[in-house]
Structure 1
Amino acid sequence: MGSKREVLTQEYIKMMTDMIVLCVTLALSLFFWVVSLTMSAVSGNLQPVSPWRWLFSILVPLMLTARALRRRSLDRSGALAALLVGFVLTMANYSFFSALLAFFITSSRLTRWGAAKKKKIDADYKEGGQRNWVQVFCNGGAPTELALLYMIEVGPGEIPIDFSNQYSASWMSLSLLGALACSAGDTWASEVGPVLSETPPRLITTWKEVPAGTNGGVTPVGLVASFLGGAAVGVAYFVTQLVTVSDLHLADPQWPIVVYGGVAGLLGSVLDSFLGAHMQYSGFDASIGKVVSSESATTQRICGKPILDNNAVNLFSSVLIALFLPGMAWGAWPR
Structure 2
Amino acid sequence: MNMLICLYLSPEPLVISPTRWMMSCFIPLVIAVYGIRKRSINFSGAIFGFVVAFILTLSNYSFLAALFVFFVTSSKATKLRSHLKKKFEADYQEGGQRNWVQVLCNGGMAAQLALLYLLDVGSSERPIDFVKDYRASWLTIGVLGVFSCCNGDTWASELGTVLTNTDPFLITSWKKVPKGTNGGVSAMGTVFSCSGGLVIGVAQYITIWYFSDAARWDYAPPQWPIIFFGAWSGLLGSIIDSLMGATLQYSGLNREGKIVNHPSQSVKHISGRNILDNHSVNLISTVIMGLMMPTLSKTIWHLF
Shorter-normalised TM range: over 0.9
Unpaired segments ≥5 residues, structure 2: none
> 2:207 — aligned with what?
240
Matched, 1:184 2:148: no
SS in 1 for 2:96: coil
Unpaired segments ≥5 residues, structure 1: 1-34
Higher alpha-carbon Rg:
1
> 2:252 — aligned with what?
283
Q: Would the aligned equivalents of 1:197 and 1:219 in 2 still touch at CA under 8 Å?
A: no
Q: Would the aligned equivalents of 2:5 and 2:118 in 1 still touch at CA under 8 Å?
A: no
Cα distance in 2 between the residues matched to 1:140 and 1:255: 24
Q: Would the aligned equivalents of 1:123 and 1:290 in 2 still touch at CA under 8 Å?
A: yes
Cα distance in 1 between the residues matched to 2:52 and 2:119: 17
Please point out which of 158, 166, 172 is paired with 2:125.
Answer: 158
Q: Which amino acid aligns with 2:126?
A: I
Cα distance in 2 between the residues matched to 1:313 and 1:82: 19
- Shift, 1:124, TM fit: 1.5
Cα distance in 2 between the residues matched to 1:135 and 1:249: 40
Matched, 1:129 2:88: no
> 1:216 — aligned with what?
183
Equivalent residues in 2 for 1:1-335, closer than 5 Å: 36=2, 45-245=12-212, 246-247=214-215, 248-286=217-255, 288-334=256-302
Q: Would the aligned equivalents of 2:89 and 2:258 in 1 still touch at CA under 8 Å?
A: yes
- Shift, 1:67, TM fit: 1.1
Q: Which amino acid aligns with 1:168?
A: R
Q: Which amino acid aligns with 2:76?
A: R
- Shift, 1:41, TM fit: 9.5
Q: Which amino acid aligns with 1:61?
A: P
Q: Which amino acid aligns with 1:280?
A: Q
Cα distance in 2 between the residues matched to 1:232 and 1:44: 36
Cα distance in 1 between the residues matched to 2:11 and 2:199: 40
Q: TM-score, normalised by structure 2?
A: 0.95
Cα distance in 2 between the residues matched to 1:129 and 1:196: 18
SS in 1 for 2:270: strand
Q: Which amino acid aligns with 1:182?
A: C
Q: Would the aligned equivalents of 1:99 and 1:177 in 2 still touch at CA under 8 Å?
A: yes
Q: Which amino acid aligns with 1:282?
A: S
- Shift, 1:153, TM fit: 1.3
Structure with the larger RCO, 1 or 2 (CA within 8 Å, 6+ apart): 2
- Shift, 1:126, TM fit: 1.6
- Shift, 1:39, TM fit: 7.6
- Shift, 1:45, TM fit: 3.8
- Shift, 1:70, TM fit: 1.2
User: Percentage identity across aligned positions?
Assistant: 47
Q: Would the aligned equivalents of 2:41 and 2:98 in 1 still touch at CA under 8 Å?
A: yes
Aligned residues: 300
Cα distance in 2 between the residues matched to 1:175 and 1:44: 25
- Shift, 1:44, TM fit: 7.9
> 1:82-101, CA deviations, whole angstroms, 9 ceiling, x for partnerless residues?
00000000000000100111
- Shift, 1:278, TM fit: 0.6
RMSD, aligned α-carbons: 1.7
SS in 2 for 1:261: helix
Q: TM-score, normalised by structure 1?
A: 0.86
- Shift, 1:65, TM fit: 0.6
